[in-house]
Amino acid sequence: MALITCDKLSLGYEGKAILEDLSFSIESGDYFCIVGENGSGKTTLMRTLLGLIKPMGGCITFGEGLKSSQIGYLPQQTTLQKEFPASVREIVLSGCRSEKRIHPFYSKEQKNTAQDAMDKMQISHLARKSYRELSGGQQQRVLLARALCAASKVLLLDEPVSGLDPKVTAEMYEVIEELNQKEKITIIMISHDLGEAIHYANRILHIGNSIFCGNVEDYLQSKEGRYFAHHVCSLPEGTHFLRKPDGRKGAGHDGHH
Residue 178 falls inside a structural domain? no
Residues 55 and 114 reside in one and the same domain: no
Residue 175 falls inside a structural domain? no
Residues of the chain with pLDDT under 50: 241-243, 245, 247, 249-257
CATH number at 47 reads: 3.40.50.300
Residues 160 and 49 reside in one and the same domain: yes
Residue 71 falls inside a structural domain? no
d(CA 146, CA 156): 12
Which residues are within 8 A (CB) of 129 and not within 5 positions of it... i.e. 6 or more apart? 87, 88
Quick one: 67 exposed, middle or buried, by C-beta within 10 A (0-12, 13-18, 19+)? exposed
Residues 237 and 253 reside in one and the same domain: yes
Residue 174 falls inside a structural domain? no
Q: How far is CA 45 from the centre of its chain?
A: 12
Residues 147 and 230 reside in one and the same domain: no
d(CA 253, CA 195): 8
Residues 100 and 188 reside in one and the same domain: no
Residues 24 and 102 reside in one and the same domain: no
Residue 206 falls inside a structural domain? yes
Structural domain count of the chain: 2
- Summarised one tens digit per residue, pLDDT across range 20-74 is 999 999 999 999 999 998 888 999 999 999 988 899 999 999 998 898 778 999 9
Residues 249 and 205 reside in one and the same domain: yes
d(CA 89, CA 93): 6
Residue 179 falls inside a structural domain? no
- pLDDT the model gives residue 237: 62
Which residues are within 8 A (CB) of 215 and not within 5 positions of it... i.e. 6 or more apart? 202, 203, 204, 249
Residue 119 falls inside a structural domain? yes
Largest CA distance in the chain: 57
Whole-angstrom Cα Rg for the chain? 18
Which residues are within 8 A (CB) of 2 and not within 5 positions of it... i.e. 6 or more apart? 25, 26, 27, 63
Q: Which domain holds residue 188?
A: 1-66+153-167+184-257
- pLDDT the model gives residue 257: 37
Residue 72 falls inside a structural domain? no
Residues 133 and 115 reside in one and the same domain: yes
Residues 41 and 159 reside in one and the same domain: yes
Q: HSE-up of 4 (CA within 13 Å, CB side)?
A: 26
